[in-house]
Amino acid sequence: MSHSNIVGGSTAKRLINCPGSRALVDKVPPRPSTSYAEEGTRLHNAMHAILSLDAKVEDFDNHEKLQFALGALNEIDPNRELEFQTELTVHYGGFLAGVFGSVDLIGRIGRRAVVLDWKFGDGVAVDAEENDQLLFYTAAAMRTPEARWALEGVDEIELIIVQPPRVSRWLTTPGRVKAFERTLYDAVQTSFRPDAPLNHGDHCRWCPAKPTCPAITGQLERAIATKVKAIDPEKMNYALAMALLAEEWAKGVRELAQTMLENKAPIDGWKLVPKRPTRQWADEAKARAAIAEMGFNPEDLMVMKSPAQAEKICGKLPKELFVSISTGNTIAPESDPRPAVSTLGSDIRRAFSKLEVK
């Protein structure tokens, strides 16, 4: 699934509030995909297959979330009147050239349009009211010939987010969508100015340019200069907000540094090392037998507990029952005794991914 590198549904809020972020983000190395993102993509593809290609829920993993999403759609459209399309690319044509995105579901019931977004992550709950991502898709759909049928002549537009186990719905009007489109247009034009403003706020949460953003680093420098013992109680709210910002900024710095090192961009004084290994069961059959001989229920200990937790209950177990495995890589100072990891394997995988299969 491709997205506009100017602005998309997931970045609309950030660009509107911080036009200068577009140029900063362009300079940041692309982040590697995460298991959470890949799982979300699989579930989106599953919903498209179920609703538009006659696939069955049983054909896919994570039945519970898919069943909830289908149940939510049945509540939204109890009489099966909704005509819809799924996974449709919508764009702004010549109004905003190069700006597009992919809407999960767009449809119509009588004189009401429906624009719906599936969110399968377990993180922050997202509301549909004044949601910039859904407004982005709706405004783009109004200008997309293949989607226009769902919005022409409607009296109201319902924006919906299905995020198991909750559903958020908001009714709005074509006029509100057009007002959003004008705001987006102004923000995109501003973003190409060399003096495009940078503004800090909750829209920074997922911004990959956070580690290098002057709007954030400047605030942190001023906050760090304040002695903690001298903070006025009335200013503690601000201080706590700065502490949260610092934590998020530090996390972003580490993620960016790791991406750079994985892409062979050296950072003086730092290296990529394997995470400290954790013990896992090497041979489950032998482990069950050993735990049973000690008078404990192996199912309770092995299914519910890690090897370390199991030993706290039943005592030391033979070393041959375990294997130590690193769960990935992390960054560390050059002084760390762990050896730097080789990225040869990832280099080979990247090279093969670029080969065309004839």
pLDDT > 60? residue 351: no
Give the pLDDT of residue 46: 95
pLDDT > 80? residue 200: yes
Stretch 56-77: mean pLDDT: 93
Query: When comparing pLDDT for 201 and 20, which is higher?
Result: 20
Amino acid at 275: K
Stretch 104-126: mean pLDDT: 94
Confidence at 356, pLDDT banded by 50, 70, 90: very low
How many Å apart are CA 158 and CA 358, to the nearest integer?
Answer: 46
Confidence at 302, pLDDT banded by 50, 70, 90: low
Stretch 259-279: mean pLDDT: 84
For the chain, domain boundaries: 9-191, 202-262, 272-353
Mean pLDDT, rounded, of the chain: 86
Please give the share of the chain, as a percent, with pLDDT higher than 90. Answer: 48
**pLDDT tens digits, 17-35:** 999 999 999 988 777 777 7
Closest CA to 283 of 323, 243, 256: 323
Stretch 235-242: mean pLDDT: 74
pLDDT > 50? residue 354: no
Give the predicted TM-score (pTM) of the model. Answer: 0.71
Query: When comparing pLDDT for 100 and 260, which is higher?
Result: 100
CA distances from 114 to 108, 138, 146, 161 (A): 6, 9, 15, 11
Task: Specify the range with the lowest mean pLDDT, choosing from 190-199, 250-259, 307-316, 341-350.
Answer: 341-350
How many Å apart are CA 99 and CA 3, to the nearest integer?
Answer: 8
Give the pLDDT of residue 278: 79
Give the pLDDT of residue 121: 85
**pLDDT tens digits, 156-171:** 999 999 999 999 999 9
Query: When comparing pLDDT for 70 and 346, which is higher?
Result: 70
Q: What are phi and psi of 321, to 5 degrees?
A: -80, -10
Cis peptide bond upstream of 165, omega within 30: yes
Asked if residues 158 and 114 have their Cβ atoms less than 8 Å apart, the reply is yes
Look up the CATH number of domain 9-191: 3.90.320
How many Å apart are CA 320 and CA 335, to the nearest integer?
Answer: 32
